[in-house]
Structure formats: structure tokens, C-alpha cells
């Protein structure tokens, strides 16, 4: 098989001084940070859909990027195999050891699900063959239950029992593929699990049906030996005007309500966090404090645009705060999937590599800086001090749930006048972050 990305070498670490566009400036896989190598901290993954399928098409124009990878016609099994060849060459050249996929990213979908499933068997055999002798494996798999017109009213949330069966069938097959390809996780992104208008929607009915579908997925997954995590990937809107998995807090509440919280964690995407009116760090913190930080879709939005732009991450400040949360949570059970695509005018093979080099370097730098912030200790020290009044006898009793309102009211009556609870020192703390980032 001939080389697809001709003239592009294996991407090596050359350090921040390097001006070589095809080299890492910060991602040094074997460098040890806080007791683990960068490679261990940062299990990076390639998103099959953006990297091997997306061709720059938008609502205003056709594709600008040739992703045929030498196949004589696109949308064929020949093309599906060319994408596998391209994907493995790409991952090897970048030193990426994981990929994520939707079922329909892998093969052309046929109207008859049996034909599609036979194609999926064939392509997954081909992928398994490619995996041999490499460290490359699946990070997570998922079923695309939003693209096909039958899902226009949702998948788990559909009004149609037939469509619900197709959603179940796709999940079953995608779980089979995930297990076959050694996947660490299985994702539910509720792309159309929401509503356009409440005038035609029975919200309780829809949410109960989504939960049932997830329960069946867990039962089936465990029965075929899937030991990994299921993930919900929250997103508040787009494509529907309201999606049920609005943000991490909402999704966690849903999982607990339906008894799914032991099998599920969150897959947090940066651009979805900002669409929900949160920071990326906020969504990671909410997941972490609930023991549900599973995996990350690493990308960033464009603050000038109000939708999911899926840019490659370049913002070192945000990546630092994200890695601060990840380090404090003790790492991820999943990984860092670049759910990111090149801009429409970045339409060459080199641009595909530049996108990943940017993203991997941004997270590597974020990791280095987050570790420095933790080692510096001023942020942690301030937070500890801020709550220190709870370290006294009364505070300890409150924390242990051993006080009554009457008792506390009596204490307030004794104190008489409210005390100043102390400065939040935000500007000082922001300057601490800057001093660590830019030292």
C-alpha cells in the first residue's frame, strides 16, 4: 500500500525554539510531568468523522478538502478502506494511539440495515488487521443517531416505535464494534434528543424512553464483555433548539434519576460547555466533584460565533485550566479526542497535521503549566485559607451535619453583627496564573 501523506515525516518533538511546522514544540511524549509521561497523561485520539470524512462543506458551499485518499470514487467500500489506510498512517506519523468513530463514519450507510451491518463487519476486520503490530486502538465508539432523516424527531426520544428499534439496532452494532476494536468507552451524544417546540412534545415520555434505551445498552454491553465506561456528552442545543443533556449537572441528575450513574460518566467537550454558558473548566469541575469525569472532546469554539465551530484548541489559558482539573481529578479513564476540524480554507494534507500539532502542543503546554500551578501552591493555599473558618469547632460540626438551625441562630445572636467574610482576591489570583504561564 502506498504512502498517502507523501512528504510528511513522523512528527517529532523539537522544542519551543523549533520553527519546523511539522514538529512538536511542547508535546514530548516521554517527558515526565508529576510522575507520569506526557503520553500517559494525554491519551490523544483522532475523531474519524472530522479527520477522515469532513471535507469542509458548509451551508453555503460544497467541500474544499479532498478526502478521497486515492479511492477512485467516494462513498464506496474502496473509499472506506482508503480512509482506514489514511487514518492509520496519520495516527502513526503523529504518535496518536487512539481513535473514536461513529458507525456511519466507517462505511457508507445503506437503506437496509443488514447491508450496512455486513459492511461494518468487513471494515472492522480490516481495521483489526491494521491494528496488529501497533499500539493503536479505539478510545470510544458511538452510533450516529442524528444524521439520517428517520431521526428527525430524535432517536431515544422519537415518537416512532420503529425508529426507536433502529436506534437500538445501531447502538447494539456500535457496541459490538467498540468491543471488537478494544474501545475504552461508548458515547451517547444526544444530537437530536431534545425538542424544537414543547407544543408537540411529551418531555417526560421522551426522557423515560432515552433512559430505557441506555439501560438496554448497558445490559447488552456488559453481556458481551464491555467493561469500559458509557459516557453522556452534554450539549445544550444544536441541532435541536433544546437538548435534554444540556450540561454536566443536568446529565448527572438524569443519570441518577434513572439509576444509570454507576455505568456512565461524562465526556466533556469544550465547545459544548461554552454553548451552555459555562467555561470548559466549569464542566470539568462539575463532572469531577461528582466522580464522573470520564473523557474529553478537545476543541474550542469561536467566541464571535454562537455555534459549535469545533476549532482545534489553541487557547493555552483554557487548556491549562482544563489540565488543572484533570490533574486534580487524578486523570481521565478516557482520553482527549480531538473533536475538531480544519477551517474550510485549510484544505491540504499538511493542514490536517498542523491542526493536530496545534492541539497536541496546546494540551501539552496546558499540562506543563497546570502542573506548575499545582506545584506553585498559591492557588490551593488561597482556597484552603478561604474556607479556614470551617476548621474551628463549630465549622467542623456543620460539615459533619451535626448542627441545627436553632443552634446556629443562637450563635448569630451572640455574634450580633455580620463579619466581613474576607476578600476573594480574584485579581491577585489571576495575576498568579499569568506569572506561572508567562515566566
Please give the Cα distance from 196 to 242 (Å, whole number).
7
Taking residue 420's Cβ as centre, other Cβ atoms within 10 Å add up to: 5
Single out the residue of 382, 360, 368 nearest to residue 439, CA to CA.
368
- Minimum CB separation of residue 100 from ligand XUL in Å reads 7
User: Which residues face 58 on adjacent strands?
Assistant: 61
Partner whose binding site includes residue 142, from ligand XUL, Co ion, none (CB under 5 to 8 Å by kind): ligand XUL
User: For residues 360 and 147, what is the distance between their CA atoms, to the nearest angstrom?
Assistant: 29
| Burial of residue 8, with CB atoms counted within 10 A of its CB: 0-12 exposed, 13-18 middle, 19 or more buried | middle
Least Å distance, CB 319 to ligand XUL, is 18
Catalytic residue selected from 50, 79, 102, 282:
102
> Given the complex with ligand XUL, which of 308 and 325 has the nearer CB atom?
308
Cα–Cα distance between 144 and 169 in angstroms, integer?
Answer: 12
Considering only residues 142, 178, 240, 362, which one is a binding residue for ligand XUL as defined by CB under 6 A?
A: 142
CB of 269 to Co ion, least distance (A): 4
245 is catalytic: no
Angle between helices 426-437 and 349-376 (to 10 degrees): 120
Q: Indicate whether 109 belongs to the interface with Co ion (CB under 5 A).
A: no
What mask of x and - would describe binding to ligand XUL in positions 147 to 186, judged by CB under 6 A? ----------------------------------------
235 binds ligand XUL (CB under 6 A): yes
Nearer Cβ to ligand XUL, position 236 or 370?
236
In the residue annotation, 102 being an active-site residue is answered as yes
247 binds ligand XUL (CB under 6 A): no
Nearest to 183 by CA among 233, 133, 124, 113: 124
The CA-to-CA distance between both ends of the chain, in Å, stands at 48
CA distance 181 to 101: 11
Q: Which of 28, 109, 245, 269 binds ligand XUL (CB under 6 A)?
A: 269
**Residue ranges in 89-128 that form contacts with ligand XUL under rule CB under 6 A:** 102
Binding string, residues 291-320; x marks residues near ligand XUL by CB under 6 A? ------x----------x------------
85, 103, 105, 297: the active-site residue: 105
CA distance 178 to 334: 14
CA pair distance 279, 282, nearest whole angstrom = 5
Q: Give the largest Cα separation in the chain, rounded.
A: 84
339 is a site residue for Co ion (CB under 5 A): yes
Cα angle 91, 97, 102; round to 5: 80
In degrees and rounded to multiples of 5, residue 43 shows phi and psi of: -75, 95
3-state SS class at 433? helix
**Which of the listed partners (ligand XUL, Co ion, none) does 308 bind, with a CB threshold of 5 to 8 Å by partner kind?**
ligand XUL
The residue whose Cβ lies closest to ligand XUL is 189
Q: Using the rule CB under 5 A, is 283 a contact of Co ion? A: no
Going by C-alpha positions, the residue among 83, 90, 85 that lies closest to residue 68 is 83
189 contacts ligand XUL (rule: CB under 6 A): yes
For residue 394, the minimal CB distance to ligand XUL (Å) is: 47
Residues 273, 280: contact at Cβ < 8 Å? Answer: yes
Exactly one of 89, 109, 245, 269 binds Co ion (CB under 5 A); which one? 269
9-16 own/partner pairs: CB under 8 Å, 24+ apart: 9/93, 10/92, 10/93, 10/95, 11/93, 11/94, 11/95, 11/353, 11/357
Residue 297 binds to Co ion (criterion: CB under 5 A)? yes
Question: Cβ of residue 28: shortest distance to ligand XUL, in angstroms?
Answer: 28
At residue 229, the 3 state secondary structure works out as strand
Task: Pick the closer one to ligand XUL by CB: 247 or 308.
Answer: 308
**Interface with Co ion includes 206 (CB under 5 A)?**
no
- Minimum Å gap between C-beta 306 and Co ion is 17
Nearer residue to Co ion within complex by CB, 187 or 368: 187
User: Residue 410 Cβ, how far from ligand XUL at the closest point, in Å?
Assistant: 53
Considering beta carbons, is residue 229 or 308 the nearer one to ligand XUL? Answer: 308
105 binds Co ion per the rule CB under 5 A:
no
- List active site positions: 102, 105
Residues that bind ligand XUL (CB under 6 A): 102, 142, 187, 189, 233, 235, 269, 297, 308, 339
Amino acid at each position: 500500500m502506498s504512502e498517502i501523506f507523501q512528504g510528511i515525516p513522523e512528527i517529532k518533538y523539537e522544542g519551543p525554539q523549533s520553527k519546523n511546522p511539522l514538529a512538536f514544540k511542547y508535546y514530548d511524549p516521554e517527558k515526565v510531568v508529576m510522575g507520569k509521561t506526557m503520553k500517559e497523561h494525554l491519551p490523544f485520539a483522532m475523531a474519524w468523522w472530522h479527520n477522515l470524512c469532513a471535507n469542509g462543506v458548509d451551508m453555503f458551499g460544497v467541500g474544499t478538502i479532498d478526502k478521497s485518499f486515492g479511492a477512485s470514487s467516494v462513498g464506496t467500500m474502496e473509499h472506506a478502506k482508503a480512509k482506514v489506510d489514511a487514518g492509520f498512517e496519520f495516527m502513526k506519523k503523529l504518535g496518536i494511539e487512539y481513535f473514536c468513530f461513529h458507525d456511519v463514519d466507517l462505511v457508507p450507510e445503506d437503506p437496509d440495515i443488514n447491508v450496512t451491518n455486513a459492511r461494518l463487519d468487513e471494515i472492522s476486520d480490516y481495521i483489526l488487521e491494521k491494528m496488529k503490530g501497533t499500539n493503536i486502538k479505539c478510545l470510544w465508539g458511538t452510533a450516529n443517531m442524528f444524521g439520517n432523516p428517520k431521526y428527525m424527531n430524535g432517536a431515544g426520544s422519537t415518537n416512532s416505535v420503529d425508529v426507536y428499534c433502529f436506534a437500538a439496532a445501531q447502538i447494539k452494532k456500535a457496541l459490538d464494534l467498540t468491543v471488537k476494536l478494544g474501545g475504552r468507552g461508548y458515547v451517547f451524544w444526544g444530537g437530536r434528543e431534545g425538542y424544537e417546540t414543547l407544543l408537540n412534545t411529551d418531555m417526560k415520555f421522551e426522557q423515560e424512553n432515552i433512559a430505557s434505551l441506555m439501560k438496554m445498552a448497558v445490559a447488552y454491553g456488559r453481556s458481551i464483555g464491555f467493561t469500559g465506561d458509557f459516557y453522556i456528552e452534554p450539549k445544550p442545543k444544536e441541532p435541536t433548539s433544546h437538548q435534554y443533556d444540556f450540561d454536566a449537572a443536568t446529565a448527572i441528575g438524569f443519570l441518577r434519576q434513572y439509576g444509570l450513574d454507576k455505568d456512565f460518566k461524562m465526556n466533556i467537550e469544550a465547545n459544548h460547555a461554552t454553548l451552555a454558558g459555562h467555561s470548559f473548566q466549569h464542566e470539568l469541575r462539575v463532572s469531577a466533584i461528582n466522580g464522573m469525569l470520564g473523557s474529553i472532546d478537545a476543541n474550542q469554539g469561536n467566541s464571535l460565533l454562537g455555534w459549535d465551530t469545533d476549532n482545534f484548541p489553541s487557547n493555552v489559558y483554557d487548556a491549562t485550566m482544563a489540565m488543572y482539573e484533570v490533574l486534580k481529578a487524578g486523570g481521565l479513564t478516557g482520553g482527549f479526542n480531538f473533536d475538531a476540524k480544519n477551517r474550510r480554507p485549510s484544505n491540504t494534507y499538511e493542514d490536517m497535521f498542523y491542526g493536530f500539532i496545534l492541539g497536541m502542543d496546546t494540551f501539552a503546554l496546558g499540562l506543563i503549566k497546570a502542573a506548575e500551578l499545582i506545584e506553585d501552591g498559591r492557588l490551593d493555599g488561597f482556597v484552603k485559607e478561604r474556607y479556614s473558618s470551617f476548621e474551628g469547632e463549630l465549622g467542623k460540626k456543620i460539615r459533619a451535619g451535626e448542627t441545627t438551625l436553632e443552634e446556629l441562630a443562637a450563635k448569630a445572636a451572640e455574634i450580633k453583627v455580620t463579619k466581613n467574610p474576607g476578600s476573594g482576591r480574584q485579581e491577585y489570583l489571576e495575576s498568579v496564573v499569568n506569572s506561572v504561564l508567562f515566566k
